Amino acid sequence: MLKIKQKTHIIMKNIISFFAFLYCSFVIFSASAQEIPLTEAPENAVLYFIEPANLETVSSPVVIKFGLINMGVAPAGVNLANTGHHHLLIDLEELPAFDAPLPANDNVRHFGLGQTETTLSLPSGEHTLQLVLGDWLHIPHNNPLVSEKITIIVE
Ligand SMILES: [Cu+2]
């Protein structure tokens, strides 16, 4: 009887520690998520494609020019008010999280040197393009700047 009681006690202790651990992880996780304050962007800022136009037929390599109104471009790592750097989303179905640094891969290209245009080699067919401005830490702004998602047809 005593042994069963002791065992139950140990199990209860383990369950309590487990929940305590879960709670602590949650608190630490929420704290770290809140530690990075989002960078403010002017409400009248606009991000758009200068070229190509939506539904334009183009040949590869494609010249893509990024347009930004009422904000400036600064390289990644440079924390200057009202600036950011361009990110080009290529054939990306779902937007990435906007409260964390944008991922870097074939579908999410960073222009961390402050480039405002690029030349892309794309296979023939339809492709979608979208721009997202990121702050010095590659995180979208508090008022996220996202362009229209355009479709281009590559010959
Ligand atoms: Cu970036």
Tell me the per-residue pLDDT of 36-55, one tens digit each, with 9 for 90 and over: 789 999 999 999 999 999 99
Q: Which of 90, 86, 53 is nearest to 68 (CA)?
A: 86
Asked if residue 16 has pLDDT above 60, the reply is no
What is the distance, to the nearest Å, from the Cα of residue 24 to the centroid of all Cα atoms in its chain? 27
Cα angle 32, 35, 40; round to 5: 135
Q: Which domain holds residue 81?
A: 46-154
Tell me: cis bond preceding 144? Omega within 30 of 0 counts: no
**pLDDT tens figures, 54-103:** 999 999 999 999 999 999 999 999 999 999 999 999 999 999 999 999 99
Position 8 pLDDT exceeds 70 = no
User: Do 128 and 91 touch, CB atoms closer than 8 A?
Assistant: yes
> In angstroms, what is the span from residue 19 Cα to ligand 1's centroid?
37
108 domain residue, yes or no: yes
| Rounded distance from Cα 7 to ligand 1 centre (Å) | 54
| Residues 128 and 68 placed together within one structural domain of the fold | yes
User: Global pTM?
Assistant: 0.78
CA distances from 30 to 17, 22, 26, 36, 138 (A): 20, 12, 6, 11, 20
Domain count, the chain: 2
Render pLDDT for 135-153 as a digit per residue (tens, 0 to 9).
999 999 998 999 999 999 9
Q: 123 pLDDT exceeds 70?
A: yes
Rg of the chain taking only CA atoms, in angstroms: 23
Q: Which residues pair with 57 in a beta bridge?
A: 153
What's the pLDDT score for residue 6? 58
Q: Which two tokens stand for residue 79?
A: 């924390």
In the numeric block, the tokens 């794309």 are attached to 122
Ligand 1 geometric centre to CA of 152 (Å): 23
Q: In what helix (H) or strand (E) does residue 85 lie, and over which residues does it extend?
A: strand 83-90
CA of 3 to the centre of ligand 1 (A): 60
Same domain, 28 and 52: no
- The CATH number linked to 131 is 2.60.40.10
